[in-house]
Structure 1
Amino acid sequence: MKKLNIFVDESGDLGEYDHRAPYYIISLVLHDQNYDMNRELAILEESLANIGWSKHCVHAGPVIRSEEEYKGYSLKDRQGILKRMMSFVRHLDVRFKSIMIEKKHVNDSVEATGKLSKQLAAFIRENMNFFYSYDVVKVYYDNGQVEVTRILSSVFNALLENVEFRKVTPAQYRLFQVADLICTLKLVELKAETHTLSKSEKFFFGDERTLKKNYLKPLRNKEM
């Protein structure tokens, strides 16, 4: 039996427009369950343990901004965490898709939900043969935002007959943390294009050339 796992995370919220958080992004990481990623996982776990973050659930945004559990750690220490996550992603046989809106162009959460739902539906329709090649499609989300839960449930159930939903916590699956990483980097990419990177983002990535070479370009190779 062929099974497709989809790990979903979001960046932002669907509240009122805020120039400090102008975008809303949903990222989906797609993993064929028959693909054994134990070797890549073992390498990641060992590499994180070597720098003092054994069995740690990585949160990309706070790593970049030096917030929460990463507060007080040096730039080199924090860059080391994301470099290891990026190496993990590079070696994985997975694909991803991000959908997004710029919040200043929507009036309220109802319109935002509709736009995101249409994008997700279009993605599934464009890849219908791919999705129908699987006996089961499992969607993993932490139910962090009720609007996202509704989008996932309504769109997937409307277009596919073989969908199951699983509520997860970020610490349970590295691929969920990869979805978080992709959301974060997609946001950084959008801000770089509009020259609105924050001071902490500029400090972390150094310059746009480094950002593109070490983070954005490797991601594009995985995008559906």
Structure 2
Amino acid sequence: MELSVFVDESGDFGEYDYHAPYYIISLVFHNQSNDIQFDLSHFNDELAYLNLSNHCVHAGPIIRSEEEYKGMSLDERRKILKKLMAFIRHIDISYKTIYIEKKHIKDSIEATGKLSKQLSSLIRENMDLFCSFDVVKIYYDNGQVEVTRVLSSVFNALLENVEFRKVIPSQYRLFQVADLICTLKLTELKLENHTLSKSEKAFFEDERTLKKNYLKPIKKKEL
């Protein structure tokens, strides 16, 4: 049996910035014995109906109306994320996020250390799960070298059945799911600290809608 782990991050290891106060890593777990092909095809069809065939969904730019979403209306952008949320609700996956608040961190060495400890705890707390698989494959796009180091050092130190795969985000829907989970975790943290941006407030309408349509459904998938 194979456990696939799709990893994405939000933030960077640079100095503290009020606009990006957190560094978040999300890990999406999929038991390859659980077939998601039907839901995957349905999701791809739903995007095609929106004239977005073979489109790589990128949650942050959708919310902020950036990059390829710049010319889209608010309603069009919401539809894309709602389709992805529906896909997540229907498939058998789980996830976990780890994060640090950067204003309490001196440098990238301390940041790497704290994230490594959190990831170690996550693996140890779920050791029976990880060891029940013949192989645990970690999928990451190698976007940030510090994350690659954290993943490699911690997983290899604690598990013997680990393999690593460099991914292109557009080729894996579950990597796009990991991207959305990072974005929603950041949104949740900002909501708790009353620091939501204007674009986030506009996209999610109000606190009740954000919690009901996004945060609560995602929370049900948490490991």
Coarse TM-score class (shorter-chain normalised): over 0.9
Map of 1:11 onto structure 2: 10
2: CA distance, partners of 1:136 / 1:72: 43
Within 5 Å, give how 1:24-43 maps onto structure 2: 24-43=23-42
| Cα deviation, residue 182, structure 1 | 0.3
Deviates more, 1:171-180 or 1:46-55: 46-55
For structure 2, the residue ranges without an aligned partner over 5 or more in a row are none
Letter paired with 1:216: L
Q: Which amino acid aligns with 1:28?
A: L
Quick one: distance in 1 between partners of 2:176 and 2:221? Answer: 16
Give the structure 1 partner of residue 191 of structure 2: 192
| d(CA) in 2 for partners of 1:154, 1:80 | 39
Counterpart AA for 1:38: Q
Partner in structure 1 of residue 152 of structure 2: 153
Paired AA for residue 154 in structure 2: V
The 3-state SS of whatever aligns with 1:54 is: coil
Structure 2 counterpart of 1:162, one-letter code: N
Equivalence for 1:106: 105
Query: After superposition, where does 1:44-55 map in structure 2 within 5 Å?
Result: 44-55=43-54
Partner AA of 2:82 in structure 1 = K
Corresponding pairs, count: 223
Distance 1:168 1:93 in 2: 21
Q: Secondary structure at the match of 1:144?
A: coil
AA matched with 2:29:
L
Aligned-partner SS, 1:219: helix
Q: Secondary structure at the match of 1:25?
A: strand
In the TM superposition, residue 43 of structure 1 has moved relative to its aligned partner by 0.9
Q: Deviations over 1:9-57 (max 9, x none)?
A: 0000010000000000000000001111001001101111111111100
Describe how 1:1-224 pairs up with structure 2 within 5 A: 2-224=1-223
1:85-122 CA distances to partner (integer Å, 9 max, x unpaired)? 00000001000000000000110000000000000000
Q: 2:123 & 2:172 partners in 1: Cα distance?
A: 23
Aligned mates of 2:70, 2:104 — CA distance in 1 = 34
Q: Distance in 2 between matches of 1:99 and 1:20?
A: 19
Superposed CA deviations along residues 125-181 of structure 1, whole A, max 9, x for unmatched, are 000000000010000000000000000000000000000000001001000000000
Where 2:183 maps in the other structure, the secondary structure is helix
Cα shift readout 1:60-89 (whole Å, capped 9, x = no counterpart): 000000000000210000000000000000
List structure 1 segments (4+ residues) > 2 angstroms apart after TM superposition: none
| RMSD (Å) for aligned C-alpha atoms | 0.4
Letter in structure 1 aligned against 2:136: V
| Alpha-carbon distance, 1:8 to partner | 0.2
SS in 2 for 1:6: strand
- TM-score, reference length from structure 1: 0.99
- Mapped to 2, the partners of 1:49 and 1:80 lie a distance apart of 12
Separation in structure 1 between the aligned mates of residue 132 and residue 194 of structure 2, nearest angstrom:
41
